[in-house]
Structure 1
């Protein structure tokens, strides 16, 4: 049964990412950075909405590493944006 749940998880994430591409393209705001942030938010939402109540399968326990990598990437993106906004000579 875990294969079905895993497939639903993957389908939900792919649907979120496809919807993000379409919406961002329609708004004229499709950039790699914005797509990454929206996809990360969607990933975190899908992880929480599909979390099992009782036993956590082994494949879901490995998601914490993907979440950590996504948050590190987000932090690097924020740092880069802040450094771009700061005037020269501040740091």
Structure 2
């Protein structure tokens, strides 16, 4: 029997592999697309896996990963906007 943390890791691994396969099939494999889609999947999985009434201890550690992901996402968006403005 898998623990909740192990199920979370397996769900995210499956999401990442599915995302990678879809990007390869669509011939649009790009690290930025992959990162953004994986971040979206991670956020969905974390929200659906946690209880709604209490905050488990592991949630504070996951929030650090979420904040880092959102910061990287913001850098990607700024870079894309600057790229569009420069044209």
Q: Same fold (TM over 0.5)?
A: yes
Q: Determine the C-alpha separation between the residues in 1 that align with 2:78 and 2:55.
A: 34
Q: Determine the C-alpha separation between the residues in 2 that align with 1:61 and 1:52.
A: 14
Structure 1 window deviating more from structure 2 (56-65 vs 32-41): it is 56-65
- Counting matched residue pairs gives 87
**4+ runs deviating over 6 angstroms:** none
Q: What are structure 2's unaligned runs of at least 5 residues?
A: none
Q: Radius of gyration: which is bigger?
A: 1
Q: State TM-score, norm by structure 2.
A: 0.91
Q: CA RMSD in A?
A: 1.8
1:69 is aligned to 68
Q: What are structure 1's unaligned runs of at least 5 residues?
A: none
Q: State TM-score, norm by structure 1.
A: 0.87
